[in-house]
Structure 1
Protein backbone atom coordinates (compact mmCIF):
# COMPACT_ATOMS: atom_id res chain seq x y z
CA UNK A 1 0.00 0.00 0.00
CA UNK A 2 1.64 3.23 -1.16
CA UNK A 3 0.87 6.29 0.92
CA UNK A 4 2.68 9.39 2.09
CA UNK A 5 1.32 9.12 5.63
CA UNK A 6 4.09 8.68 8.23
CA UNK A 7 1.71 6.61 10.34
CA UNK A 8 0.74 2.96 10.10
CA UNK A 9 -2.69 1.84 8.92
CA UNK A 10 -4.83 -0.24 11.28
CA UNK A 11 -6.23 -2.59 8.63
CA UNK A 12 -2.87 -3.10 6.91
CA UNK A 13 -0.28 -3.33 9.66
CA UNK A 14 -2.34 -4.58 12.61
CA UNK A 15 -1.55 -3.79 16.22
CA UNK A 16 -1.40 -5.14 19.76
CA UNK A 17 -5.12 -5.40 20.48
CA UNK A 18 -4.67 -5.92 24.22
CA UNK A 19 -2.55 -2.80 24.53
CA UNK A 20 -5.18 -0.85 22.60
CA UNK A 21 -7.84 -1.96 25.09
CA UNK A 22 -5.59 -0.98 28.01
CA UNK A 23 -4.96 2.47 26.50
CA UNK A 24 -8.52 3.41 25.58
CA UNK A 25 -11.08 1.14 27.29
CA UNK A 26 -9.70 -0.21 30.58
CA UNK A 27 -10.53 0.54 34.21
CA UNK A 28 -6.97 1.57 35.04
CA UNK A 29 -6.63 4.79 37.06
CA UNK A 30 -4.55 6.46 34.35
CA UNK A 31 -6.98 5.59 31.53
CA UNK A 32 -8.01 9.07 30.40
CA UNK A 33 -10.81 8.25 27.97
CA UNK A 34 -13.59 6.97 30.25
CA UNK A 35 -16.07 9.77 29.55
CA UNK A 36 -15.51 9.53 25.80
CA UNK A 37 -14.82 5.92 24.79
CA UNK A 38 -16.90 4.27 27.54
CA UNK A 39 -19.72 6.48 28.88
CA UNK A 40 -20.48 8.35 25.65
CA UNK A 41 -20.80 5.10 23.72
CA UNK A 42 -22.92 3.33 26.32
CA UNK A 43 -25.24 6.31 26.89
CA UNK A 44 -26.01 6.97 23.23
CA UNK A 45 -26.47 3.33 22.25
CA UNK A 46 -28.78 2.80 25.20
CA UNK A 47 -30.78 5.85 24.17
CA UNK A 48 -31.27 4.93 20.50
CA UNK A 49 -32.12 1.30 21.22
CA UNK A 50 -34.59 2.28 23.97
CA UNK A 51 -36.83 3.95 21.35
CA UNK A 52 -37.54 0.47 19.98
CA UNK A 53 -37.21 1.12 16.23
CA UNK A 54 -33.83 -0.60 15.83
CA UNK A 55 -34.34 -4.34 16.10
CA UNK A 56 -34.35 -7.50 14.03
CA UNK A 57 -32.66 -10.82 13.49
CA UNK A 58 -29.10 -9.94 12.43
CA UNK A 59 -26.68 -7.25 13.52
CA UNK A 60 -23.20 -6.88 12.01
CA UNK A 61 -20.45 -5.14 13.95
CA UNK A 62 -17.57 -3.57 12.02
CA UNK A 63 -15.38 -1.79 14.55
CA UNK A 64 -11.73 -1.37 15.42
CA UNK A 65 -9.94 -3.34 18.14
CA UNK A 66 -11.79 -5.90 20.31
CA UNK A 67 -14.10 -3.94 22.61
CA UNK A 68 -17.56 -5.28 23.39
CA UNK A 69 -19.38 -2.69 25.52
CA UNK A 70 -21.03 -1.12 22.44
CA UNK A 71 -23.04 -4.35 22.07
CA UNK A 72 -24.71 -4.32 25.51
CA UNK A 73 -27.91 -2.62 24.39
CA UNK A 74 -27.92 -4.29 20.97
CA UNK A 75 -28.06 -7.80 22.43
CA UNK A 76 -31.55 -7.07 23.78
CA UNK A 77 -32.90 -6.37 20.28
CA UNK A 78 -31.02 -8.79 18.01
CA UNK A 79 -30.90 -12.57 18.24
CA UNK A 80 -27.74 -12.96 16.17
CA UNK A 81 -24.68 -10.75 16.04
CA UNK A 82 -21.85 -11.21 13.55
CA UNK A 83 -18.57 -9.47 14.34
CA UNK A 84 -16.15 -8.68 11.52
CA UNK A 85 -12.47 -7.94 12.23
CA UNK A 86 -9.70 -7.02 9.83
CA UNK A 87 -6.79 -8.58 11.71
CA UNK A 88 -6.10 -11.84 13.50
CA UNK A 89 -4.89 -10.41 16.81
CA UNK A 90 -8.21 -8.64 17.32
CA UNK A 91 -10.06 -11.86 16.48
CA UNK A 92 -7.99 -13.83 19.00
CA UNK A 93 -8.54 -11.21 21.69
CA UNK A 94 -12.28 -11.13 21.12
CA UNK A 95 -12.66 -14.91 20.97
CA UNK A 96 -10.77 -15.24 24.25
CA UNK A 97 -13.48 -13.10 25.84
CA UNK A 98 -16.41 -14.73 24.00
CA UNK A 99 -15.23 -18.17 25.14
CA UNK A 100 -14.68 -16.84 28.68
CA UNK A 101 -11.13 -18.12 28.73
CA UNK A 102 -8.45 -17.37 31.30
CA UNK A 103 -6.68 -14.13 30.51
CA UNK A 104 -9.62 -12.49 28.72
CA UNK A 105 -9.84 -8.73 29.03
CA UNK A 106 -11.93 -7.51 31.99
CA UNK A 107 -15.11 -5.63 31.03
CA UNK A 108 -16.85 -5.51 34.41
CA UNK A 109 -16.36 -1.75 34.73
CA UNK A 110 -18.39 -1.15 31.58
CA UNK A 111 -21.31 -3.36 32.58
CA UNK A 112 -21.33 -1.46 35.88
CA UNK A 113 -21.63 1.81 33.97
CA UNK A 114 -24.69 0.47 32.17
CA UNK A 115 -26.17 -0.89 35.37
CA UNK A 116 -26.00 2.58 36.91
CA UNK A 117 -28.21 3.83 34.08
CA UNK A 118 -30.86 1.13 34.43
CA UNK A 119 -34.02 2.16 36.27
CA UNK A 120 -34.30 -1.19 38.00
CA UNK A 121 -30.67 -1.98 38.69
CA UNK A 122 -31.60 -4.62 41.27
CA UNK A 123 -32.77 -6.84 38.41
CA UNK A 124 -29.88 -5.99 36.11
CA UNK A 125 -29.04 -9.06 34.07
CA UNK A 126 -25.64 -10.31 33.04
CA UNK A 127 -25.03 -8.16 29.97
CA UNK A 128 -21.69 -9.76 29.23
CA UNK A 129 -23.30 -13.19 29.19
CA UNK A 130 -26.04 -11.98 26.85
CA UNK A 131 -23.51 -10.51 24.45
CA UNK A 132 -21.51 -13.75 24.48
CA UNK A 133 -24.65 -15.72 23.64
CA UNK A 134 -25.68 -13.35 20.85
CA UNK A 135 -22.31 -13.33 19.06
CA UNK A 136 -22.78 -16.16 16.58
CA UNK A 137 -19.67 -15.62 14.47
CA UNK A 138 -16.39 -13.71 14.59
CA UNK A 139 -15.20 -13.44 10.99
CA UNK A 140 -12.04 -12.15 9.31
CA UNK A 141 -12.75 -9.55 6.64
CA UNK A 142 -10.82 -7.65 4.00
CA UNK A 143 -12.19 -4.16 3.43
CA UNK A 144 -10.75 -3.98 -0.08
CA UNK A 145 -12.39 -7.13 -1.44
CA UNK A 146 -15.67 -6.83 -3.33
CA UNK A 147 -17.12 -9.30 -0.85
CA UNK A 148 -15.33 -8.39 2.38
CA UNK A 149 -15.83 -11.87 3.86
CA UNK A 150 -15.07 -13.88 0.71
CA UNK A 151 -15.67 -16.79 0.34
CA UNK A 152 -18.33 -16.47 3.05
CA UNK A 153 -21.47 -14.62 1.96
CA UNK A 154 -23.19 -12.89 4.85
CA UNK A 155 -26.96 -12.64 5.14
CA UNK A 156 -28.29 -9.07 4.90
CA UNK A 157 -28.36 -7.33 8.25
CA UNK A 158 -31.04 -5.26 9.94
CA UNK A 159 -28.38 -3.14 11.63
CA UNK A 160 -24.69 -2.38 11.23
CA UNK A 161 -22.64 -0.86 14.03
CA UNK A 162 -19.29 0.63 13.12
CA UNK A 163 -17.00 2.36 15.60
CA UNK A 164 -13.87 4.18 14.46
CA UNK A 165 -13.13 1.84 11.57
CA UNK A 166 -13.98 4.09 8.64
CA UNK A 167 -11.56 6.85 9.58
CA UNK A 168 -8.81 4.44 10.63
CA UNK A 169 -8.89 2.61 7.29
CA UNK A 170 -9.44 5.56 4.97
CA UNK A 171 -6.62 7.54 3.36
CA UNK A 172 -8.95 10.27 2.13
CA UNK A 173 -12.56 11.26 1.41
CA UNK A 174 -12.88 8.87 -1.53
CA UNK A 175 -11.77 5.93 0.62
CA UNK A 176 -14.21 6.88 3.37
CA UNK A 177 -17.16 7.00 0.99
CA UNK A 178 -16.09 3.79 -0.74
CA UNK A 179 -15.94 1.89 2.55
CA UNK A 180 -19.18 3.48 3.75
CA UNK A 181 -20.84 2.21 0.57
CA UNK A 182 -19.60 -1.30 1.33
CA UNK A 183 -20.97 -1.10 4.86
CA UNK A 184 -24.28 0.10 3.46
CA UNK A 185 -24.31 -2.92 1.14
CA UNK A 186 -24.49 -5.20 4.17
CA UNK A 187 -27.89 -3.79 5.13
CA UNK A 188 -31.43 -4.69 4.24
CA UNK A 189 -33.46 -1.84 2.69
CA UNK A 190 -34.60 0.26 5.63
CA UNK A 191 -31.81 -1.14 7.80
CA UNK A 192 -30.06 0.97 10.42
CA UNK A 193 -26.47 2.15 10.62
CA UNK A 194 -25.00 3.22 13.96
CA UNK A 195 -21.79 5.10 13.31
CA UNK A 196 -19.29 6.18 15.95
CA UNK A 197 -16.33 8.29 14.92
CA UNK A 198 -13.78 10.86 16.00
CA UNK A 199 -13.73 14.38 14.56
CA UNK A 200 -10.65 16.33 13.46
CA UNK A 201 -8.23 13.54 14.36
CA UNK A 202 -5.02 12.57 12.57
CA UNK A 203 -3.53 9.74 14.67
CA UNK A 204 -3.90 7.32 17.55
CA UNK A 205 -1.14 5.51 19.40
CA UNK A 206 -0.85 1.88 20.44
CA UNK A 207 2.39 1.06 22.24
CA UNK A 208 5.24 2.63 20.30
CA UNK A 209 3.30 2.87 17.03
CA UNK A 210 1.23 5.74 15.67
CA UNK A 211 -1.69 4.89 13.40
CA UNK A 212 -3.31 7.03 10.75
CA UNK A 213 -6.77 8.59 11.15
CA UNK A 214 -8.49 10.31 8.23
CA UNK A 215 -9.37 13.82 9.40
CA UNK A 216 -12.97 14.94 8.81
CA UNK A 217 -15.67 17.09 10.43
CA UNK A 218 -19.36 16.70 11.22
CA UNK A 219 -20.53 18.24 7.93
CA UNK A 220 -18.47 15.75 5.94
CA UNK A 221 -19.87 12.64 7.61
CA UNK A 222 -23.44 13.95 7.45
CA UNK A 223 -23.10 14.69 3.73
CA UNK A 224 -21.45 11.31 3.12
CA UNK A 225 -24.36 9.48 4.73
CA UNK A 226 -27.01 11.44 2.86
CA UNK A 227 -25.09 10.91 -0.37
CA UNK A 228 -25.22 7.14 0.18
CA UNK A 229 -28.98 7.12 0.68
CA UNK A 230 -29.24 7.34 4.47
CA UNK A 231 -31.66 9.39 6.52
CA UNK A 232 -30.10 10.63 9.75
CA UNK A 233 -32.34 10.02 12.75
CA UNK A 234 -30.06 11.03 15.61
CA UNK A 235 -26.73 12.78 15.99
CA UNK A 236 -24.73 13.65 19.08
CA UNK A 237 -21.31 15.25 19.32
CA UNK A 238 -19.23 15.19 22.49
CA UNK A 239 -16.31 17.57 22.78
CA UNK A 240 -13.20 15.85 24.06
CA UNK A 241 -12.54 15.84 27.79
CA UNK A 242 -9.59 13.40 27.85
CA UNK A 243 -6.14 14.81 28.56
CA UNK A 244 -3.66 12.56 26.77
CA UNK A 245 -1.25 12.68 23.85
CA UNK A 246 -2.13 9.12 22.76
CA UNK A 247 -4.50 10.56 20.15
CA UNK A 248 -5.49 14.01 18.91
CA UNK A 249 -9.24 13.86 18.19
CA UNK A 250 -11.25 16.98 19.06
CA UNK A 251 -14.64 15.31 19.59
CA UNK A 252 -16.58 12.08 19.24
CA UNK A 253 -19.64 11.79 17.02
CA UNK A 254 -22.48 9.29 17.27
CA UNK A 255 -24.96 8.99 14.39
CA UNK A 256 -27.99 6.75 13.99
CA UNK A 257 -29.32 6.59 10.43
CA UNK A 258 -31.50 4.33 8.34
CA UNK A 259 -31.19 3.28 4.73
CA UNK A 260 -33.95 4.47 2.42
CA UNK A 261 -36.06 1.63 1.04
Structure 2
Protein backbone atom coordinates (compact mmCIF):
# COMPACT_ATOMS: atom_id res chain seq x y z
CA UNK A 1 0.00 0.00 0.00
CA UNK A 2 2.56 2.56 1.09
CA UNK A 3 4.94 1.54 -1.66
CA UNK A 4 2.73 3.07 -4.34
CA UNK A 5 3.04 6.53 -2.80
CA UNK A 6 6.79 6.18 -2.50
CA UNK A 7 6.95 5.18 -6.17
CA UNK A 8 4.90 8.22 -7.15
CA UNK A 9 7.19 10.71 -5.43
CA UNK A 10 10.36 9.07 -6.72
CA UNK A 11 9.08 9.04 -10.30
CA UNK A 12 8.31 12.78 -10.26
CA UNK A 13 11.94 13.60 -9.46
CA UNK A 14 10.93 15.62 -6.39
CA UNK A 15 13.53 13.70 -4.38
CA UNK A 16 16.79 12.67 -6.04
CA UNK A 17 20.53 12.57 -5.44
CA UNK A 18 23.60 10.40 -5.35
CA UNK A 19 22.92 7.85 -2.59
CA UNK A 20 19.75 6.22 -1.26
CA UNK A 21 19.66 3.92 1.78
CA UNK A 22 16.53 1.77 1.95
CA UNK A 23 15.85 0.48 5.45
CA UNK A 24 14.03 -2.84 5.48
CA UNK A 25 14.39 -3.68 1.78
CA UNK A 26 14.92 -7.41 1.72
CA UNK A 27 13.65 -9.56 0.29
CA UNK A 28 11.53 -7.08 -1.72
CA UNK A 29 12.58 -4.75 -4.54
CA UNK A 30 9.25 -3.06 -5.39
CA UNK A 31 10.01 0.04 -3.31
CA UNK A 32 13.30 0.54 -5.18
CA UNK A 33 12.05 0.26 -8.75
CA UNK A 34 11.37 3.98 -9.21
CA UNK A 35 14.16 5.02 -6.85
CA UNK A 36 16.74 3.67 -9.30
CA UNK A 37 15.69 6.44 -11.70
CA UNK A 38 16.42 9.16 -9.13
CA UNK A 39 19.60 7.90 -7.40
CA UNK A 40 22.99 6.75 -8.64
CA UNK A 41 23.74 4.37 -5.76
CA UNK A 42 21.39 2.32 -3.59
CA UNK A 43 22.21 0.55 -0.33
CA UNK A 44 19.61 -2.11 0.48
CA UNK A 45 19.25 -3.41 4.04
CA UNK A 46 17.42 -5.85 6.31
CA UNK A 47 17.68 -7.21 9.85
CA UNK A 48 17.85 -10.96 9.23
CA UNK A 49 20.36 -12.80 7.07
CA UNK A 50 17.81 -15.13 5.44
CA UNK A 51 15.97 -12.24 3.76
CA UNK A 52 19.24 -10.58 2.80
CA UNK A 53 20.22 -13.85 1.14
CA UNK A 54 17.00 -13.87 -0.89
CA UNK A 55 17.73 -10.37 -2.18
CA UNK A 56 21.28 -11.36 -3.05
CA UNK A 57 19.96 -14.37 -4.98
CA UNK A 58 17.86 -12.03 -7.12
CA UNK A 59 20.81 -9.68 -7.59
CA UNK A 60 23.01 -12.59 -8.68
CA UNK A 61 20.33 -13.93 -11.07
CA UNK A 62 20.24 -17.32 -9.36
CA UNK A 63 17.80 -19.81 -10.86
CA UNK A 64 15.60 -20.09 -7.76
CA UNK A 65 15.42 -16.34 -7.08
CA UNK A 66 11.95 -14.79 -6.75
CA UNK A 67 10.37 -13.74 -10.07
CA UNK A 68 9.47 -10.03 -9.91
CA UNK A 69 8.27 -9.82 -13.54
CA UNK A 70 4.63 -8.94 -12.75
CA UNK A 71 5.66 -6.14 -10.37
CA UNK A 72 8.24 -4.87 -12.86
CA UNK A 73 5.58 -4.72 -15.59
CA UNK A 74 3.17 -2.87 -13.27
CA UNK A 75 5.74 -0.26 -12.22
CA UNK A 76 6.90 0.32 -15.80
CA UNK A 77 3.26 0.95 -16.69
CA UNK A 78 2.91 3.49 -13.88
CA UNK A 79 6.00 5.27 -15.19
CA UNK A 80 4.67 5.44 -18.74
CA UNK A 81 6.60 2.44 -20.10
CA UNK A 82 9.78 4.47 -20.56
CA UNK A 83 11.69 1.21 -20.12
CA UNK A 84 10.87 -2.46 -20.53
CA UNK A 85 10.57 -4.60 -17.40
CA UNK A 86 13.85 -6.30 -18.31
CA UNK A 87 15.63 -2.95 -18.71
CA UNK A 88 14.23 -1.73 -15.39
CA UNK A 89 15.36 -4.88 -13.60
CA UNK A 90 18.90 -4.62 -14.94
CA UNK A 91 19.09 -0.92 -14.12
CA UNK A 92 18.13 -1.60 -10.50
CA UNK A 93 20.65 -4.43 -10.23
CA UNK A 94 23.34 -2.04 -11.42
CA UNK A 95 22.35 0.65 -8.93
CA UNK A 96 22.36 -1.57 -5.82
CA UNK A 97 25.88 -1.02 -4.53
CA UNK A 98 25.61 -2.93 -1.24
CA UNK A 99 23.25 -5.25 0.64
CA UNK A 100 23.81 -4.73 4.36
CA UNK A 101 22.52 -5.78 7.76
CA UNK A 102 20.53 -3.04 9.50
CA UNK A 103 19.33 -2.60 13.09
CA UNK A 104 17.37 0.62 13.75
CA UNK A 105 17.81 0.21 17.51
CA UNK A 106 21.50 1.14 17.15
CA UNK A 107 22.80 4.70 16.89
CA UNK A 108 24.50 3.63 13.65
CA UNK A 109 21.93 1.25 12.14
CA UNK A 110 24.49 -0.12 9.68
CA UNK A 111 27.24 -0.83 12.24
CA UNK A 112 29.97 -1.95 11.91
CA UNK A 113 29.78 -0.37 8.44
CA UNK A 114 30.26 3.39 8.46
CA UNK A 115 28.47 4.28 5.22
CA UNK A 116 28.77 7.70 3.57
CA UNK A 117 25.92 10.06 4.47
CA UNK A 118 22.96 9.56 2.16
CA UNK A 119 20.82 12.04 0.26
CA UNK A 120 17.73 10.00 1.13
CA UNK A 121 16.64 7.25 3.51
CA UNK A 122 13.47 5.27 2.84
CA UNK A 123 11.55 2.87 5.08
CA UNK A 124 8.36 1.27 3.69
CA UNK A 125 6.19 -0.74 6.12
CA UNK A 126 9.23 -1.23 8.33
CA UNK A 127 9.47 0.82 11.53
CA UNK A 128 6.04 -0.29 12.77
CA UNK A 129 7.27 -3.89 12.78
CA UNK A 130 10.76 -3.14 14.09
CA UNK A 131 9.76 -0.91 17.04
CA UNK A 132 7.89 -2.36 20.02
CA UNK A 133 6.72 0.95 21.50
CA UNK A 134 6.45 4.62 20.60
CA UNK A 135 9.63 5.56 22.44
CA UNK A 136 11.74 3.14 20.40
CA UNK A 137 10.05 4.37 17.21
CA UNK A 138 11.23 7.88 18.05
CA UNK A 139 14.72 6.60 18.76
CA UNK A 140 14.73 4.76 15.42
CA UNK A 141 13.88 8.02 13.65
CA UNK A 142 16.79 9.69 15.41
CA UNK A 143 19.13 6.84 14.49
CA UNK A 144 18.07 7.01 10.83
CA UNK A 145 18.90 10.73 10.79
CA UNK A 146 22.55 9.74 11.47
CA UNK A 147 22.59 8.14 8.00
CA UNK A 148 21.53 11.38 6.29
CA UNK A 149 23.31 14.46 5.06
CA UNK A 150 22.05 17.79 6.49
CA UNK A 151 18.71 18.52 4.77
CA UNK A 152 18.67 14.91 3.58
CA UNK A 153 15.28 13.39 2.82
CA UNK A 154 13.40 10.75 4.81
CA UNK A 155 10.55 8.93 3.05
CA UNK A 156 8.29 6.75 5.18
CA UNK A 157 5.20 4.73 4.31
CA UNK A 158 3.23 2.33 6.45
CA UNK A 159 -0.04 1.33 8.06
CA UNK A 160 -2.06 3.39 10.52
CA UNK A 161 -3.54 1.83 13.63
CA UNK A 162 -2.35 -1.70 12.90
CA UNK A 163 -1.65 -4.03 15.82
CA UNK A 164 -0.77 -6.97 13.57
CA UNK A 165 -0.63 -8.22 10.02
CA UNK A 166 -0.71 -11.78 8.78
CA UNK A 167 2.18 -13.54 7.06
CA UNK A 168 0.89 -16.95 6.09
CA UNK A 169 -0.60 -18.48 9.22
CA UNK A 170 1.31 -16.17 11.58
CA UNK A 171 0.27 -12.83 13.03
CA UNK A 172 3.19 -10.40 13.02
CA UNK A 173 3.37 -7.51 15.50
CA UNK A 174 2.80 -3.95 14.30
CA UNK A 175 3.00 -0.72 16.30
CA UNK A 176 -0.33 1.14 15.85
CA UNK A 177 0.98 4.56 14.82
CA UNK A 178 -1.37 7.47 14.14
CA UNK A 179 -1.13 10.71 12.20
CA UNK A 180 -1.01 12.65 15.47
CA UNK A 181 1.92 10.57 16.69
CA UNK A 182 3.84 11.02 13.42
CA UNK A 183 3.31 14.78 13.44
CA UNK A 184 4.90 14.88 16.89
CA UNK A 185 7.58 12.21 16.45
CA UNK A 186 9.19 13.54 13.27
CA UNK A 187 9.83 17.13 14.46
CA UNK A 188 10.70 15.80 17.92
CA UNK A 189 13.48 13.62 16.53
CA UNK A 190 15.32 15.90 14.17
CA UNK A 191 13.13 16.36 11.08
CA UNK A 192 11.07 19.01 9.33
CA UNK A 193 7.86 17.63 7.80
CA UNK A 194 7.52 18.43 4.09
CA UNK A 195 4.41 16.34 3.49
CA UNK A 196 2.36 13.93 5.57
CA UNK A 197 -0.60 12.33 3.83
CA UNK A 198 -2.99 9.72 5.21
CA UNK A 199 -5.44 7.47 3.38
CA UNK A 200 -8.35 5.37 4.56
CA UNK A 201 -8.63 1.61 4.34
CA UNK A 202 -9.82 0.44 0.90
CA UNK A 203 -13.33 -0.98 0.76
CA UNK A 204 -12.04 -4.23 -0.73
CA UNK A 205 -9.32 -4.79 1.90
CA UNK A 206 -9.09 -8.27 3.40
CA UNK A 207 -10.50 -7.84 6.95
CA UNK A 208 -8.48 -10.80 8.23
CA UNK A 209 -5.07 -9.78 6.92
CA UNK A 210 -4.61 -6.90 9.39
CA UNK A 211 -6.59 -4.63 11.69
CA UNK A 212 -5.08 -1.49 10.13
CA UNK A 213 -7.26 1.62 9.73
CA UNK A 214 -5.49 3.17 6.75
CA UNK A 215 -2.00 4.05 5.67
CA UNK A 216 0.32 7.04 5.52
CA UNK A 217 3.08 8.57 3.47
CA UNK A 218 5.59 10.98 5.04
CA UNK A 219 8.28 13.10 3.44
CA UNK A 220 10.58 14.85 5.91
CA UNK A 221 13.98 16.49 5.86
CA UNK A 222 16.77 16.28 8.40
CA UNK A 223 17.16 19.53 10.30
CA UNK A 224 20.51 21.24 9.97
Mark yes or no: TM-score above 0.5: yes
Name which structure has the greater RCO, CA cutoff 8 Å, separation 6+. 1
Match of 1:260?
223
How do 1:117-156 and structure 2 match up within 5 A?
A: 117-119=78-80, 121=81, 123-124=83-84, 126-156=87-117
Q: Given the superposition, is the C-alpha separation of residues 260 and 144 from structure 1 closer, same or farther in structure 2, using an over 3 Å criterion?
A: closer
Match of 1:68?
29
| 2:15 alignment partner, SS class | coil
Q: CA deviation at 1:233?
A: 2.1
- Equivalent residues of 2:109, 2:144 under 8 A apart: no
Match of 1:41?
3
Match of 1:248?
211
Q: Given the superposition, is the C-alpha separation of residues 164 and 122 from structure 1 closer, same or farther in structure 2, using an over 3 Å criterion?
A: closer
Give, in whole Å, the separation in 1 of the partners of 2:82 and 2:150. 39
Give, in whole Å, the separation in 2 of the partners of 1:107 and 1:230. 34
The Cα offsets for residues 95-150 of structure 1, whole Å up to 9 and x where unpaired, read as: 1111111111121122222222234x265462221111111111112333333222
- Equivalent residues of 2:76, 2:83 under 8 A apart: no
Normalised to the residue count of structure 1, the TM-score between the two structures is: 0.78
| 2:199 alignment partner, SS class | strand
| 2:76 alignment partner, SS class | helix
- Equivalent residues of 1:190, 1:260 under 8 A apart: yes
Give, in whole Å, the separation in 2 of the partners of 1:122 and 1:162. 26
Which region of structure 1 is more displaced relative to structure 2, 147-156 or 168-177?
147-156
Q: Given the superposition, is the C-alpha separation of residues 228 and 122 from structure 1 closer, same or farther in structure 2, using an over 3 Å criterion?
A: closer
1:174 pairs with one of 135, 145, 169:
135
| 1:177 alignment partner, SS class | helix
Normalised to the residue count of structure 2, the TM-score between the two structures is: 0.90
Matched, 1:186 2:147: yes
- Equivalent residues of 1:64, 1:164 under 8 A apart: no
Q: Given the superposition, is the C-alpha separation of residues 58 and 203 from structure 1 closer, same or farther in structure 2, using an over 3 Å criterion?
A: same
Number of corresponding residues: 221
1:208 pairs with one of 169, 176, 182:
169
How do 1:70-109 and structure 2 match up within 5 A?
A: 70-109=31-70
Q: Given the superposition, is the C-alpha separation of residues 47 and 188 from structure 1 closer, same or farther in structure 2, using an over 3 Å criterion?
A: same
Which region of structure 1 is more displaced relative to structure 2, 170-179 or 62-71?
62-71
Give, in whole Å, the separation in 1 of the partners of 2:105 and 2:53. 22
Q: CA deviation at 1:238?
A: 2.6
| 2:137 alignment partner, SS class | helix
Give, in whole Å, the separation in 1 of the partners of 2:184 and 2:101. 30
Q: Given the superposition, is the C-alpha separation of residues 259 and 147 from structure 1 closer, same or farther in structure 2, using an over 3 Å criterion?
A: closer
Name stretches of at least 5 consecutive residues in structure 1 with no aligned partner. Answer: 1-35
- Equivalent residues of 1:118, 1:124 under 8 A apart: no
Q: CA deviation at 1:235?
A: 2.8
